[in-house]
Amino acid sequence: MDARKLKIEAAAVALTYVDDGMRLGIGTGSTAEEFVRLLAAKVAGGLTIIGVPTSERTAQLCRELGVSLTTLDETPELDLTIDGADELDGTLSLIKGGGGALLREKIVAAASNKMIVIADETKVVETLGRFPLPIEVNRFGLEATKIAIIKASADLGLAGPIALRLKEGEPFITDGGHYILDASFGSIPDPKTLSCALYAIPGVVEHGLFLGLASAAIIAGVDGIRTLTV
């Protein structure tokens, strides 16, 4: 079965959690985009929801497909967020930010009563860290922030290349106007401690460890769909 079909299957199950009148956080990435397409078809059929997009890219797709949008300022409390992930473990700790939208994704998820992750089986890991951890940093003081991240992670026994994310040869700029450092630490046995250490660095705007935010994950694999909950 191809990867896109699995994403569509996970997205279709997620759609069954969407009720009429819901205030919905709408994720970013190729899996979330499949969800938007299915959601748009339901909206065309009469479903009424209002969405808060987690990126400009998602906002554009929603507009193109006729999904009504609002902002978190107008609607600061959401019923449900559906989003993809780059990696998830059995406790529903996540790595996100492969698409560069981690800051808005985390703000939207935190403003939601419930976050459901949609992913294919390849995203499930025993221990987080196979996927490089995206760390969104202020453009000011990039090198100093990078050195601080190296020191803080070394104190936790973590090491590995930390690369400035590029797009078409230029630094990738997030929707918030920041850079992203992708940290290839390898296995992250204690995500909570790493999270706290990264938050303590002034130039770090946000990081891609999503801990205690997701309450369910819909995982599509060749053998079918399974739902993980915590």
Tell me, yes or no, if 105 is annotated catalytic: yes
Burial of 64 (0-12, 13-18, 19+ CB in 10 A): exposed
The answer to whether the Cα torsion of 83, 30, 54, 48 is positive or negative is negative
Q: Is 153 in the site for ligand 5RP (CB under 6 A)?
A: no
Complex with ligand 5RP: residue 43 or 85, whichever CB lies closer = 85
Complex with ligand 5RP: residue 64 or 155, whichever CB lies closer = 64
Closest CA to 17 of 165, 227, 187: 227
In whole angstroms, how close is the CB of 154 to ligand 5RP at the nearest point? 26
Structural tokens at position 94: 């996540």
Phi, psi of 191 (to 5 degrees): -60, -35
Complex with ligand 5RP: residue 194 or 214, whichever CB lies closer = 214
- CA atoms of 68 and 77, how far apart (whole Å): 16
Q: Is 53 in the site for ligand 5RP (CB under 6 A)?
A: no
Q: Is 224 annotated as a binding residue?
A: no
Are the CB atoms for 159 and 153 separated by under 8 Å?
yes
Token pair 């400009």 in the structure block, residue: 56
Q: Is 45 annotated as a binding residue?
A: no
- CA atoms of 122 and 47, how far apart (whole Å): 32
Q: Is 165 in the site for ligand 5RP (CB under 6 A)?
A: no
Beta strands 115-120; 216-221: pairing state:
parallel
In whole angstroms, how close is the CB of 19 to ligand 5RP at the nearest point? 23
CA angle 171, 172, 176 (to 5 degrees): 125
Active-site hit among 33, 34, 87, 105: 105
In whole angstroms, how close is the CB of 29 to ligand 5RP at the nearest point? 3
Query: What character string, x for contact with ligand 5RP (CB under 6 A) and - otherwise, covers 64-103?
Result: -------------------xxxx---------xxxxxxx-
Query: What character string, x for contact with ligand 5RP (CB under 6 A) and - otherwise, covers 12-41?
Result: ---------------xxxxxx---------
- CA atoms of 168 and 33, how far apart (whole Å): 22
In whole angstroms, how close is the CB of 166 to ligand 5RP at the nearest point? 16
Total interface residues for ligand 5RP by CB under 6 A? 18
Complex with ligand 5RP: residue 54 or 145, whichever CB lies closer = 54
The answer to whether the Cα torsion of 197, 230, 182, 72 is positive or negative is negative
In whole angstroms, how close is the CB of 50 to ligand 5RP at the nearest point? 21
- CA atoms of 27 and 59, how far apart (whole Å): 10
Binding site for ligand 5RP (CB under 6 A): 27-32, 83-86, 96-102, 105
Binding site, by residue number, is 28-31, 83-86, 96-99, 123
Q: Report, as residue numbers or ranges, the catalytic residues.
A: 105
